[in-house]
Amino acid sequence: MTIRRLMLGVAAAALLAPTAGAGAQESLDLGHVGDPGSLYEATAENFAECVAASGKATVDVYGSSQLGNDEEMLQKLKLGQIDFSLPSSVMSSVSPTFGVFEMPYLIKSRDHMKKVRDEMRDTFVDAAAGRGYQILGFWENGFRNVTNNVKPINVPGDLDGIKLRVPKGEWRVKMFQSYGANPTPMAFSEVFTALQTGVIDGQENPLAQIYSGRFQEVQKFLSMTGHVYSPAYLATSSRNWDGWDEELRTAIQDCATTSSDFAYERSQQMDDELISKIEEAGVTVNEADKDAFIAASKAIYEEFGSQVEGGQKLVEDIQALAAGS
């Protein structure tokens, strides 16, 4: 009799529990590789707060690669195992179109990037859609700089032989090979230990990732090369996107767009604050000769323009938006 009553109670509870159709909010997961204090964390939390305020869903944010590295999370998106991820350079391995953001010194400023976002959005959304992904927001990773334990990097020749971690993607590897470095693709979550143990000499990342990743604890030199501007993309899968109702899609898209401007403002603020904090940690900071790096980058532009379909026009279209930025 006791077992029968228990079963009846469970059944009644199931009947009374709210369902998605009865007004319950969707609970969505967002994964990223950023550590606590990173720009990724700040932007993702800003997005989550916006979505929650819409009343259409809640977003649970999982940083520090808790849901996997960038490649793993992209796969989980396609399988419907997570709802959002925040890829950056890895998108160049999803579609060659995104490789344009691997071109050195192409994006001149955040105002320039805003123009690219606003006027060329469809180019990148369509490229991702062709691979089963929906790009919702153009957020930021940032302007990248080199750290290492060998010497200050002033000109490309100073990189000769240095073992440098880079994200996965062929164009970053080719770029640093052309500068003379020994680039090693590696997941972000592995970088601190690799630096600490001397497996690699250095790495390159925006200041927000360098500081939140605590690389200042295991690096002697920070060289302000500003060699690449890396967007970050709030991404879901076409499978997820098509499964959400129109009201939820509208709320998500509106918040993704709003958080884009937040990302640019917050990143500028972090750039202004973090150089002195990294210096205070004992790291020697120098300004690199960017003109020397630009001059050494001609070959990578030529290769991209010839190898990627429409690559030359893509570069030219982005360069044309730099005026006045």
- pLDDT for position 11: 40
Rounded Cα–Cα distance for residues 58 and 48 (Å): 7
Each residue's pLDDT, cut to its tens digit, for the chain (325 residues) gives 333 343 334 343 333 333 333 345 799 999 999 999 999 999 999 999 999 999 999 999 999 999 999 999 999 999 999 999 999 999 999 999 999 999 999 999 999 999 999 999 999 999 999 999 999 999 999 999 999 999 999 999 999 999 999 998 899 999 999 999 999 999 999 999 999 999 999 999 999 999 999 999 999 999 999 999 999 999 999 999 999 999 999 999 999 999 999 999 999 999 999 999 999 999 999 999 999 999 999 999 999 999 999 999 999 999 999 987 7
pLDDT attached to residue 13: 39
Contact 159, 104 (CB under 8 A): no
Q: What is the predicted pLDDT for the residue at 7?
A: 38
pLDDT at position 324, please?
78
* DSSP-based three-state secondary structure for 284: strand
Other Cβ atoms less than 10 A from the Cβ of 42: the count is 20
Q: What is the pLDDT of residue 24?
A: 59
Cα 32 to Cα 12: distance, rounded to the nearest angstrom? 39
The residue to which tokens 């604890």 are assigned:
217
What's the distance, CA 202 to chain centroid? 19
The size of the chain, in residues, is: 325
